[in-house]
Amino acid sequence: MRISTAQMYNQNISSLNKNQTQTSKLMDQIASGQRVNTAGDDPVAAIGIDNLTQQNSLIQQFQKNINYANQHLSLTESQLSDAETLSMSIRDRMLAAVNGTYTDDERQSIADELRQSLDQLQTIANSQDEAGNYLFAGTKSDTQPFAFDNNGNMVYSGNSDVRTALVAAGVAMPTNVAGDAAFMNAPNAMGDFSVNYSAAQSGDFSVTSAKITDPTSYIPDDYSFNFLDNGSGGIDVQILDGASNLVKTINNYDPTTPISVNGVDLTLNGTPSAGDSFSIQPQSTTSIFDTVQQAITLFEDGDTINTAAGQSQLAQLLNNFDSGVDQIRIGRSQAGTSLSALDNYASNHSDTELVNNSALSVLQDLDYASAVSEYQKQQLAMNAVSTLFSQVGTVSLFDYLS
C-alpha cells in the first residue's frame, strides 16, 4: 500500500492534535482540581453535578431566609420578654394602690408611675428593627402601630397579617408577631361583656362571669341590673335593656344562682344589697393598654378605689390585665417556637448540604496523582510524536542520491 506524503503529514498532525487536546484537558483538570469541567468530560457525572449544585444553591437561599427570620424573631422575642417583665411591675403597682391607708397624693404618685410604665410599654410595642421597620405592625412595617386617641384609648394602625420567609421546600415560617395579637386582642376575662358598677354600690359583690351561653336566644344590647327590696325580706332583680325597657324580673334573687337573660348568663361573687345596680356592654376582647389606662383613671378618682364599686372595678381590671399579660406570653411563645423550628430546619439544611458536597466530591474531584501521571505520559507521547514527525518530515529522495 502506498502512503503519500500528504497522508503521512495528516496522520502525524492528527496525532499531535489529539495528544495536545488530551494534555490541555489534563492541564485544565489539574488547574481547577476538578475531574469534570464540561459536560463532555463525563456527561453522566455532569448531570449529577448540575442537580447537586442547584440543590446547594437552593439550600443556601433557604439558609439566608432562616438567618433573616432568626434575627427578626429573636428581636421580637426579646421585646416581648421586656414587655412581660414590665407588665409584672405594673401589676405590683396596681396592687399597691389598693392600700386603704394611702392618701390621694400617694395614689396619684402610683398613677404617675403607671403612666410612665404605660409609655414604656407603648415604646416596646412600637419597637423597630435595624432597618427602621416596626416589629409589631403586621405587614404594614412602615406604619407606627400603636398610639392613644384623644379619649385615651389605644388605637392599632397595623394589621393582623404575618410576614413569612421560605425556609424549606413548601415551608413558609412567620418572621414576626402581629401587634394586635400580642397587645390588643386579649380575651375579656369576664367573658363576652364588660361591667360598669354604680358609684352608690353598698353590697360587697362583683361580677365574675358574663357570657353568651345560648347564641340562638341572645339579643345584642346593653343590659342594666337593679337590685330592689321586695318587701318580704328578699331582693328582686329588674333587668332593663339599653332603652330602659323592662326585659325580665327575677323574684327572690339567690346569689348562688347565675342570672340568665336573653341567652346571657352572669355569675356574681358576693351578695348585692337593695339599691345596688350595674350594667353590662358587649366586649369580647380587651387591650392591656386600655386596662392600665382605666386603672390610672380609677386611682386618680379620689377615694373611689376604697369603695365597694371601686373594689369590684379593680377586680375586673386585674383579671383583664392578667389576660393581657397572658396574650403577651402567647406571642412570646409563638416567637420562641418558631425560633426552635428554624434551628431544626437550619440543621437539616446543613446536613443535606454536607451530603451533597460529599457526593459532588465523588463526582467531580480530581485524583491529582493519577492526573499528574497521565499528564507526564501525554507529554512523553507528544514529544515522541513531535520528534519522529520532525525527523520524517525532513527526509527527501535527494538524501539517498549521491
Residue 21 host element (H or E): helix 5-32
Q: Are 198 and 278 in contact (CB under 8 A)?
A: yes
* Length of the chain as a residue count: 402
Query: pLDDT value at position 97?
Result: 81
Residue 81 host element (H or E): helix 43-96
Q: Quick one: 128 exposed, middle or buried, by C-beta within 10 A (0-12, 13-18, 19+)?
A: middle
CA dihedral for 261, 266, 271, 272, sign (positive or negative): negative
Query: pLDDT value at position 367?
Result: 47
- CA dist 325 and 125 (Å) reads 13
C-alpha cell at 232: 318580704
Report the Cα–Cα distance between both ends of the chain, in Å, rounded.
27
The three-class DSSP label of residue 106 is: helix
Contacts of 319 (CB under 8 A, 6+ apart): 189, 190
- CA dist 313 and 317 (Å) reads 6
Residues of the chain with pLDDT under 50: 1, 367-368, 371
Q: CB atoms < 10 A from the CB of 95, how many?
A: 11
> What would the DSSP string read from start to end of 210-264?
EEE--TTT-----EEEEEEE-SSSSEEEEEE-TT--EEEEESS--TTS-EEETTE
pTM of the shown model: 0.78
Query: pLDDT value at position 212?
Result: 96
Count of helices and strands (H, E) across the chain: 7, 14
C-alpha cell at 220: 345584642
Query: pLDDT value at position 368?
Result: 46
- CA dist 109 and 104 (Å) reads 9
Query: pLDDT value at position 358?
Result: 79
